[in-house]
């Protein structure tokens, strides 16, 4: 079974996207390329899909704040946010539900962007941070921070140590995967996925070893975080996720041309004057940072980074993975999954990772079956 698109199947030249070199395209096309966070030239369908997904994310945000065991009308939500509402509504909205909803929005966006970057650079739809060891590395680093720093599952105490632990673990995992997959001056998506799966297995075993040696109370706190949950999230979690997006997104948008060209293959990118290795490392680093901070904020939530870019590409109908659309889809997915986790078995709240896993596992099996049937995936 082929895990994704083989490198030799990459088209020799970009099939539809304009090539912004040599002054051969119009100013309008160049502007479209520069705004290609949507994935190529901005077309009405792409803009419509982005607006629809953003509206869905906003609706999910509003529903997440107003719906629950104690329903609050939208008007009262607005009054609570502006400081003119009742004390009970203000407490529920501003202290309990709004931080959780904002964290879901930002974490989902970060996972969607991280998945799009990883899949685009490796040209493999299975190269998701939660499948090839990046999230596992962040989990190991985060668990170490939880066990050593006295952090509770809700992030109280020394929560600031968790993002740094997760980032360090993710960087180590990415470095090992990249170093082992780099052969003969190149890296292939197929080899990167295989190496990443092995790294993930080793890091998962290391995390289990850390939990086995920990005190029972500390291990239970870490296990809640490892499940992937937005319960009890505060503004500090949203702040870290927002900071990661604020730093990484401008860097990625500045590298939108390398992001586009790398999806057509290394030979094509080099022919167009792109420093392939350097561009790949920077884009992978941005993906690792986004995935690590998102994991630190909400735990290793599975399948959002895997599914969001592929859903975005199918919705927009673009040949490439649309970057910003993937982030918007990830935000909407996680918001809706968290809302389902809260309401499906109310008053019992499921960890959001359980919902995304229940939905994402069949999607992964479908992706693998499709790859086996047609000889490629995506």
**For 282-333, what is each residue's pLDDT tens digit?**
888 999 999 988 988 888 888 899 889 989 988 888 878 888 899 999 999 9
Mean pLDDT of the chain: 78
Bridge partners (DSSP) of residue 183 are 186
Is the pLDDT at 104 greater than 90? The verdict is: yes
Task: Give me the pLDDT at residue 163, please.
Answer: 81
Query: Cβ distance 303 to 360 under 8 Å?
Result: yes
Is the pLDDT at 152 greater than 70? The verdict is: no
Q: Rounded mean pLDDT of 173-184?
A: 84
DSSP 8-state symbol, 7: G
Distances (CA, A) of 170 to 126, 134, 135: 18, 5, 7
Is the pLDDT at 28 greater than 70? The verdict is: no
Task: Give me the pLDDT at residue 42, please.
Answer: 60
Is the pLDDT at 40 greater than 80? The verdict is: no
Burial (CB count within 10 angstroms: exposed 0-12, middle 13-18, buried 19+), residue 308: buried
Taken in order of first residue, the domains within the chain and their CATH numbers are 7-374 (1.10.3470.10)
- Closest to 222 measured CA to CA, from 208, 234, 236: 208
Q: What is the pTM of this model?
A: 0.82
Is the pLDDT at 39 greater than 90? The verdict is: no
Of residues 372 and 351, more confidence is placed in 351
Of residues 170 and 181, more confidence is placed in 170
For the chain, how far is it from start to end, CA to CA, in angstroms? 14
Tokens of 281: 């490392």
Distance CA(64)–CA(77), nearest Å, equals: 11
């Amino acid at each position: 079974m082929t895990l994704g698109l083989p490198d030799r199947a990459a088209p020799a030249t970009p099939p539809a996207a304009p090539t912004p070199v040599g002054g051969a395209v119009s100013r309008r096309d160049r502007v479209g390329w520069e705004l290609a966070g949507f994935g190529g030239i901005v077309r009405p369908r792409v803009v419509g899909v982005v607006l629809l997904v953003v509206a869905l994310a906003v609706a999910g945000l509003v529903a997440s704040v107003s719906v629950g065991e104690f329903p609050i009308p939208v008007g009262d939500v607005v009054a609570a946010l502006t400081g003119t509402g009742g004390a009970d509504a203000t407490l529920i909205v501003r202290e309990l539900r709004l931080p959780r909803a904002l964290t879901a929005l930002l974490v989902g966006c970060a996972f969607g962007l991280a998945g799009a970057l990883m899949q685009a650079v490796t040209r493999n739809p299975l190269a998701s941070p939660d499948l090839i060891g990046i999230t596992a590395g962040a989990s190991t680093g985060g668990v170490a921070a939880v066990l050593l720093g006295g952090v509770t599952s809700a992030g109280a105490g020394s929560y600031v140590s968790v993002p740094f632990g997760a980032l360090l673990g993710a960087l180590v995992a990415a470095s090992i995967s990249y170093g082992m997959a780099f052969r003969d001056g190149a890296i292939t998506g197929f080899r990167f996925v295989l190496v990443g799966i092995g790294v993930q297995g080793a890091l998962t075993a290391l995390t289990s070893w850390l939990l086995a040696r920990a005190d029972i109370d500390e291990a239970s706190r870490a296990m809640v975080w490892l499940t992937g949950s937005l319960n009890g999230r505060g503004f500090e979690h949203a702040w870290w996720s927002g900071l990661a997006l604020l730093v990484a997104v401008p860097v990625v948008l500045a590298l939108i041309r390398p992001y586009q060209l790398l999806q057509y293959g290394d030979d094509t990118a080099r022919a167009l004057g792109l420093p392939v290795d350097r561009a790949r490392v920077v884009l992978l680093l941005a993906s690792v940072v986004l995935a690590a901070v998102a994991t630190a904020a909400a735990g290793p939530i599975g399948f959002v980074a895997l599914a969001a870019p592929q859903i975005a590409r199918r919705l927009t109908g673009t040949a490439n993975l649309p970057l910003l659309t993937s982030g918007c889809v990830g935000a909407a997915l996680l918001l809706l999954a968290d809302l389902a986790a809260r309401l499906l078995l109310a008053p019992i709240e499921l960890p959001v990772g359980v919902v995304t896993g229940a939905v994402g596992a069949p999607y992964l099996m479908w992706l693998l079956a499709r790859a086996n049937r047609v000889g490629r995936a995506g």
